[in-house]
Amino acid sequence: EGQLMGWDEHIMLIAHCVHKYSDQMVIVGNTGSNNTYEAIRATEQGFAVGMDVALQINPYYGKTSSEGMIAHFEKVLDLGPCIIYNVPGRTGQDIPPEIIEPLAKNKNLVGIKECMGTKRIKYYETHGIACWSGNDDQSHDSRHEGRSHGVISVAANVIPKTMRKLMDSPQPELNKKLKVFFDWLFCEPNPIPLNTIMPMLGLAKPVFRLPYVPLNLDQREKGLQLF
Residues marked as catalytic: 85, 113
H or E element at residue 173: helix 172-185
**C-alpha to C-alpha distance for 95 and 83, rounded to whole angstroms:** 13
Residue 109: strand pairing partners:
82
- State how far the alpha carbon of 184 is from the alpha carbons of 72, 76, 97, 114, 174, in Å: 35, 35, 31, 21, 16
Cβ atoms within 10 Å, residue 199: 14
How long, in residues, is the chain?
227
What count of other Cβ atoms lies within 10 Å of the Cβ of residue 133? 29
Q: Do β-strands 82-86 and 150-151 pair in parallel, antiparallel, or remain unpaired?
A: unpaired
DSSP for 29-70, written as a single string: -S---SSHHHHHHHHHHHHHTT-SEEEEEPP-SS---HHHHH
